[in-house]
A and B are shown apart, each in its own frame.
Chain A
Amino acid sequence: MATKRPLGLWIAAAAGYAFLYAPLAIVVVYSFNDSRLNAEWVGFTLDWYDKLFHDQDMLTAAGNSLVIALTASAVSTVLGTMAGLALYRYQTRLLQVLVLAPIAIPEILMGVSLLIFFVFLDFTLGLVSVTLAHITFCIGFVAIVVRARLAGMDESLTEAARDCGASPWEAFRYVTLPLIMPGVIAGALMAFTLSIDDFVITFFTAGAGTVTLPLQIYSMIKIAVTPEVNAVSSLLMLLTLALIIIAAKVSPTLLRSQEGSAP
């Protein structure tokens, strides 16, 4: 239901969007910059996009990042929603700590400890080890958002459903889930963002030959972060946006945010 949006709100929000997009505009515009440097505008060219499509390393890295991010965000959204529910309903102490701690702990420590752990288990480092690591730190973000969404929610609706004969799963699927869906989506978006941009943990848990986009780009930091990186960033954003729009069209009932309602 659309509610009143006063002019002051519009202006403040517009300022927020401007702040978000000013650097992004530079990123996209400079992907067409006819200069090796990412520093000032020289002229227009499509060379960098051309270079990108011939750069097997960069494309593989981008592909890996996408696959890892999609998998990690999917799994961590499921686990994180469960954790959020558990935190809200049962207030399990242990879970509270285990959910918050990965967010607090410095990434280097988590990366090194996971590496030692994987080596100890003789687990081959590769895409899977990176994905497992990403899921670990994403769960917390989803859980916290879902819990915040649940706060103040009226359990009587769920109880009523159970009284009418719904199984726990049905009560969740048809009553609770639609009500918390905006929280779940918000959590999933955060998890995806965290995964696709992670550097430190990925650095330590990637195998010899596993490259993700952040790893590839950070290694260029010394020589020059050329507009090719701007190009791949711009394309990745577009691609992700397209994927999400497609997913929304394919499963509309699942992703449509239900009308939130305070009872």
Chain B
Amino acid sequence: MKRLLLALLASLLVAAPALAKDVFHLYNWNNYIAPETIKRFEDFCKCEVVQTYYSDNEELLAKLAAGAKGYDMLVPTSNAVSTLIKGKQLKPIDKSPLPNLKNIDPRYLNTPFDPDNKYSVPYAMSTTIIGYNDVKMKELGLPTDTWAVIFEPRYLEKVKGRITVLDSADELFAAALKYLGYSANDVDEKHWKEAANVIKKSRPYWAAFNASSYIKELTVGNIWLVHGYSNDIFQANLDAQAAKRPFHILQGMPKEGAVLAVDNMVMHKDAPRPDLALKFMNFMLEGKNSAELTNLIGSGNPNTDAVKYIKPEILKNPAIFPDKAVAAKLEQLKDFTGAQRRLRNRMWTEIKAGR
């Protein structure tokens, strides 16, 4: 027993010191970069890429707020970038080694949360929309281009117990506000109360608030309609085809508009290897590399140079590459003040408590 303990301690001590090699620490969403891209980058920079993952912006923010470090690059969504900038957690970007920056569509540059792109560079995008089982929706005669289908009892009756919505206060309130005709970033308490009422009225018909297993349930056919992320729904369809289901999972862009999430590459203020981070940024700004992710998961792409590498069927998809009219109705979520967050949380807790 004693020998076993000693052996364990020895193995821990041996494993602890890092190998003396160029290591680039990337803290990213899971499956948010193609394995081929990583390999090519490792060959290009002669370094090792170590990825750790998070599945929510808030996890990233909580960890950094508690003081974690060691990461070179993070890939937060715009509102999280805004929080990080205000919290002085990011290193400014030296743009001189980034010649490929010119590839980014100017629509996505120079945003209100990071004017002049001092800290962030757009990476990939997704929208929060409606996902549905095409066979079932046709059968039930339900519309798939409006938020009404998840908020109005006359439609909900037909899909009772077969619909899920995201377990995110921000996303669900944004959808409800859009449905009511307000902006997703509206901060009027009266409007929030209206949205909360819409949600509470629809809640009895929803199967669950779910942000994790809804894709699987959609693909299997247990759930027919979801409020979800465009990448997830794209994946669900790929899985459904691979599993030879007798239906497709399609994306429905509501005409009232939706939330757009732009994920950005940023450098942590204590990044051990900012030089590698800049190399990576420039590498990912190349059209070819950027397109690999889009082809893999169906994410939106702010890179104009990537267009020629993206699969045509993805380019034609209006939920991933919306036309001008739809794009005008998409909104990026803004961060709230502390007081607003607390109010939102109380309303959300009441909704979740069944009040």
Mark A residues whose CB is within 8 Å of B. Answer: 35-40, 42, 57, 67, 70-71, 74, 112, 115-116, 119-120, 125-128, 131, 203-204, 206-211, 215-216, 218-225, 247, 250-251, 254
Contact = CB atoms under 8 A, between A and B. Distances in A.
Nearest to B214: A222
Nearest to A254: B1
Contact of A219 (B18, B54, B71, B243): B54
A222 B30 contact: yes
B68 A119 contact: yes
B67 to A, nearest CB: 3
B55 A115 contact: no
A74 B3 CA distance: 12
Given A209-B23, A251-B1, 16 more contacts: A35-B243, A37-B219, A39-B217, A40-B220, A71-B8, A71-B9, A74-B5, A74-B8, A115-B63, A119-B67, A119-B69, A131-B12, A204-B63, A208-B71, A219-B53, A247-B4
Given A36-B243, A204-B63, A128 B16 contact: yes
A222 B243 contact: no
B70 A221 contact: no
A116 B66 CA distance: 5
B42 interface: no
B8 A70 contact: yes
B239 interface: yes
Nearest to B59: A203
Q: Is the interface of B mostly helix, strand, loop or mixed?
A: mixed
Contacts of A120: 67
Given A36-B239, A207-B70, A222-B215, A128 B31 contact: no
A216 B71 CA distance: 17
Given A115-B66, A119-B67, A203-B59, A220 B12 contact: no
A224 B239 contact: yes
Contacts of B18: 209
Contact of B15 (A39, A67, A221): A67
Contacts of A131: 12
B242 A36 contact: yes
Contact of B55 (A37, A38, A210, A222): A222
Contacts of A251: 1
26 contacts: A36-B242, A36-B243, A37-B239, A67-B15, A71-B12, A74-B4, A74-B8, A115-B68, A116-B66, A119-B69, A120-B67, A126-B16, A127-B16, A128-B16, A131-B12, A203-B63, A209-B25, A221-B55, A221-B212, A221-B213, A223-B30, A223-B297, A224-B216, A224-B239, A225-B216, A247-B1
Interface residues of B, number: 45
B62 interface: yes
A204 B16 CA distance: 18
Contact of B66 (A204, A219, A223, A247): A204
Given A208-B70, A224-B239, A219 B30 contact: yes
Interface string B39-65: 000000000001111110001001100
B11 interface: yes
A208 B31 contact: no
Select the residue from B27, B68, B212, B242 with max chain A CB neighbours within 10 A: B68
Nearest to A218: B55
A254 B4 CA distance: 13
Contacts of B8: 67, 70-71, 74
Given A112-B66, A208-B52, A208-B68, A222 B232 contact: yes
A209 to B, nearest CB: 4
B235 interface: yes
B51 to A, nearest CB: 8
Interface string B1-29: 10011001101100110100001010101
A55 to B, nearest CB: 10
Contacts of A207: 68, 70
Contacts of B68: 115, 119, 125, 204, 207-208
A204 B30 CA distance: 17
